Amino acid sequence: MQRAKPRGPAWLARAQRVILHPRQEWAAIAGEFTSAGPIYRGFLLPVAAIGPLAATVGTIISGGERSSLVGTFRISMTDAITRGVLEYALNLIAVYAFALVIDLLAGILGGQRNQVQALKVAAYGSSPYWLGGALAVLPKLAPIGLLLGLYSVRVYAAGLSPVMKTPPDKTLPYTLLTSAAGAMVVLVVATVLQLFVSP
């Protein structure tokens, strides 16, 4: 069966397929021969920009208002732009660090260690988080975007076993440990942003 040609950018089509049809898409991803470069260029560079760009635009449109899970605050336009650029760079670094953890856990839990495969899981599995960032264009909706990102746990659960070759009985602990690591990465990024660009 031939896959329908996507109407939008390839990275967006992939994100949609991972979210809507995770099992089928992970099976395709698992067998793809690639390297870190194409994953970054073809997927991460555009998708990791969604949240920072939306938050920056939302802050400018709202006159400096920013929302988070802990409340609403105000920042200057200059700080909004600085924060957006820094968040984008941190996203790209954080997904690599997250991949290293996924790779390490695969070895511990009986899977096959492979950094490129782990990067696939970290990048594509975070699709709900990446796309949820678009809601930050309306500052009051930004926390909802973060909560939508929790669906990434479900997406990881579907991808860890086929991509990292972990035994089925290790899927639950692998998913829980991976999700905890992902939450820690998001927390570290938020903390760094708070330290460097405080409201």
Question: SS3 letters for 82-141?
Answer: HHHHHHHHHHHHHHHHHHHHHHHHHHHCCCCCCHHHHHHHHHHHCHHHHHHHHHHHCHHH
Q: Would you say 152 and 123 are in contact if contact means Cβ atoms under 8 Å apart?
A: no
pLDDT digits (tens, 9 = 90+) for 75-131: 888 888 998 999 999 999 999 999 999 999 999 999 999 999 999 999 999 999 999
Return the pLDDT at 193.
81
pTM of the predicted model as reported, rounded to 2 decimal places: 0.88
Rounded Cα distance, 97 and 102, in Å: 9
End-to-end CA gap in the chain? 53
Does residue 2 lie within any of the structural domains? Answer: no
Q: Is the pLDDT of residue 138 over 90?
A: no
What range does the domain containing 117 cover?
10-196
Q: Would you say 121 and 146 are in contact if contact means Cβ atoms under 8 Å apart?
A: no
- Across the range 43-53, mean pLDDT stands at 96
Does residue 3 lie within any of the structural domains? Answer: no
Average pLDDT, the chain: 89
Does residue 96 lie within any of the structural domains? Answer: yes
Return the pLDDT at 71.
64
Question: How sure is the predictor about 1, in pLDDT bands with cuts at 50, 70 and 90?
Answer: very low
pLDDT digits (tens, 9 = 90+) for 146-157: 788 889 989 988
Does residue 136 lie within any of the structural domains? Answer: yes
Return the pLDDT at 159.
93
Return the pLDDT at 199.
54
Higher pLDDT, 145 or 69: 145
Does residue 17 lie within any of the structural domains? Answer: yes
- Across the range 166-180, mean pLDDT stands at 92
Does residue 165 lie within any of the structural domains? Answer: yes
* Counted domains in the chain: 1
Does residue 1 lie within any of the structural domains? Answer: no
